Amino acid sequence: MSTQVALVGGTGKLGSIIRAVIDELEGFEVSRVLTSSSDLSELDGADLVVDASTPQVSVEVVRAAVEHGINVLVATSGWSSERIALVRPLVEAAGTGAVFIPNFSLGSVLGSALAAAAAPFFGSAEIIEAHRETKIDSPSGTAVRTAELIAAARTDQGPVSAPHADQRARGQQVGSVPIHSLRRPGVVAKQEVILSGPGESLTFTHDTIDSALAYAPGIRLAVPFALKATGVFVGLEHMIDIGIRS
């Protein structure tokens, strides 16, 4: 019998991509598609909830899934480490699983991991991220996750240098890392992490050209993982060995 998946936000751009991938996954079936305004009681009876809704609705989707005793895969942006910390006790108390994926692109995961690995060697780090003008939230979940990884990698060195961070034009700081968000037509998704030190700089750039092609491999990994997960996991790095050793 197929695993029954309830897909919230299944009519949106990302939701449509996720549905197409799940339809091709052996042993999985999207049995119900909800919009961001659907009654979440419709989740009852599903084996797995996949959330591709909006930042405002997503937290209620996660709570509803946990209350129904259903594992949840969260593809919605806007989940910072602080926000995840609020639902972690609920997930752990229920004995379910919640998997948060800031970006399904394998290239994006590698770019963020490489930037974090290099961050202890540079005193300055800034992120520039661009998405299409229809993206509601900023900074992007990927940029937030990247900044958090950089901050975690610099535990011994301390915060990065970010002069004049009190000025609004200097971006929003996450883990001391300034993030600059662009929202403009003609862009799918692009992120640059610029690390700077005395006399040199190092830039990691990831550019999403075709979201359906870029996200599909990560979705194929995340859906089966989320079904069996117990506890809270953040990022595709829990599903792949990216080959970086400390």
The residues assigned a catalytic role are 131, 135
Distance between CA 77 and CA 98 in Å, rounded? 14
3-state secondary structure (DSSP) of residue 26: coil
* Pairing mode of beta strands 177-183, 124-131: parallel
The neighbour count for residue 87, using CB atoms within 10 Å, is: 20
Rg (CA), the chain: 18
E-strand ranges in 46-151 read: 48-51, 71-74, 97-100, 124-131
* Pairing mode of beta strands 124-131, 231-234: unpaired
Residue written as token pair 């995340």: 222
3-state secondary structure (DSSP) of residue 11: coil
Distance between CA 225 and CA 238 in Å, rounded? 9
Distance between CA 145 and CA 149 in Å, rounded? 6
Task: Find residue 31's DSSP bridge partners.
Answer: none
Cα 10 vs. chain centroid, distance in angstroms?
17
